[in-house]
Amino acid sequence: MAIIKPFKALRPRPDLAAKVASPPYDVLNSEEAKAEARENSFSFLHITKAEIDFPNGVDIHSQAVYDKAKENLQRFIEQGTLDNEKKPCFYIYQLVMNGRSQTGLVCVSSVDDYLKDIIKKHEFTRPEKEKDRIDHMKTIRAQTGNVFMAYNNVHEIDVAIYNWKNSHVPLYDFVAGDGIKHTVWVINDDEVIDSITSMFVEKVPATYIADGHHRAASAAKVSKALEGSAAAKYFLTTIFPASELAIMDYNRLVKDLNGMDADDFISALQDDFTITKSEEPVKPTQLHEFGMYLDKQWYILAARKDSYSSDPIGVLDVTILSNNILDRLLDIKDQRTDKRIDFVGGIRGLKELEKRVDSGEMKAAFSLYPVTIQQLFDIADSGNVMPPKSTWFEPKLRDGLLTHTLDN
């Protein structure tokens, strides 16, 4: 049973929503964030990445930066840029990218569910990344980062959300600078709120973190630190039915062939793959098919059936690539720390892979077929975790539209 609750969102005035809304704090570095917010004093990046208001070189994890985030948040509230909802509500968040839409329910989810594994995980977290968000949350007394979650479709919930969308005017409706359309509705009817809450309890046995493991882990630790805060027992989530989501490919680049020349490397690959040259860039069209770009030539690599196991982790394409190429042939053992490997989200396209190999920065690139939602669910249900950089979700939820404060 999944416990969710409505909440009094801290949110922008409708006329300022497009200016306030910002990319998630972890998709921009400090320099990119500073450039993004340079001409926009309303950008929520002044709260999520407050180092942009300091000279270059400031320690982005210093208490001074977190204090500045708190100061900026209070200024946004005092100036009327942000205001608290008058009563606890649910929100519907729809994103449209390249003509494809996905719609989720914005609510707060139970920290107890996270600790009891009713909220399923598929990634390890890193202590230093957790600490950053813990210090940020504790200082500003708010959760600004939305945890992107999923669940197996429930028809009655789908209908309730569809009906509300189609019978109410949205609170926010704008197209961001990257071309993605963001639309938000407020569900403020107590009867509908109670009905949706009950349906999650009765019909959703588990929810799954798709993106935001560090935000969720940090919220759980802040909840323990702020035992007097009832609000801190919940954390900000947007939950999407599985049918609404698509995972994008997450591709790899390597700096060298571990002392082999191209012919020797291709020969070694034939133990585990059938190899075919391609005149076109290779975007895999099925599981266990890979693209490889090497010396200005694309290849299709098809994994042989005896080159992988059928367990939930072994069957993943990222595992097949990791075991049979990165580890066995290239001696890349730890993808989290090895400097010889880099990762490129599929949204940047195959041209980015070609560019970085052709420049000489990298020696070879590998394109992968995306992990499926069902594979993600299966791994989370089994209690396992995916290899690093397995999933890439687009479009991203914007920070600043709906914030969960910890003082109410």
Is the bond leading into 395 cis (omega within 30 degrees of zero)? yes
Q: What is the pLDDT of residues 45-96, one digit of tens each?
A: 999 999 999 999 999 999 999 999 999 999 999 999 999 999 999 999 999 9
CB burial of 309-328 (b: ≥16 within 10 Å; e: otherwise) equals eeebbebbbbbbbbbbbbee
Per-residue pLDDT at 132:
95
Task: Note the Cα 359 to chain centre separation in Å.
Answer: 29
Q: Residue 172 is inside which H or E element, if any?
A: strand 172-175
Task: Note the Cα 250 to chain centre separation in Å.
Answer: 12
Phi, psi at residue 331, to the nearest 5°?
Answer: 60, 35
Which stretch of 5-14, 281-290, 377-386 has the lowest confidence by average pLDDT? 377-386
Q: What is the pLDDT of residues 210-230, one digit of tens each?
A: 999 999 999 999 999 998 899
Q: Give residue limits of the domains in the chain.
A: 4-247+394-405, 250-369
DSSP code at position 7: B
Residue 334 CB: number of other CB atoms within 10 A? 9
Which stretch of 106-115, 130-139, 169-178, 339-348 has the lowest confidence by average pLDDT? 339-348
250-369, CATH topology level: 3.30.1760
DSSP code at position 165: H
Reading the block at residue 79, the tokens are 């100036």
Per-residue pLDDT at 408:
57
Q: Given the structure tokens 């290849």, which residue do they identify?
A: 299
The answer, yes or no, to whether residue 342 has pLDDT greater than 90, is: yes
Q: What is the pLDDT of residues 123-138, one digit of tens each?
A: 888 888 899 999 999 9
Side chain identity at residue 255, one-letter code: K
Mean pLDDT of 325-332: 97
Contacts of 52 (CB under 8 A, 6+ apart): 30, 33, 34, 37, 45, 46
Reading the block at residue 257, the tokens are 């062939």
Q: What is the pLDDT of residues 266-296, one digit of tens each?
A: 999 999 999 999 999 999 999 999 999 999 9
Q: To 5 degrees, how large is the angle CA 280–CA 284–CA 287?
A: 160
d(CA 183, CA 97) in angstroms, rounded, equals: 12
CB 85 within 8 A of CB 185: no
Q: What is the pLDDT of residues 306-325, one digit of tens each?
A: 999 888 889 999 999 999 99
- Strand-strand pairing, 119-120 and 207-211: parallel
How would you class 407 by CB atoms within 10 Å of its CB: exposed for 0-12, middle for 13-18, buried for 19 or more? exposed
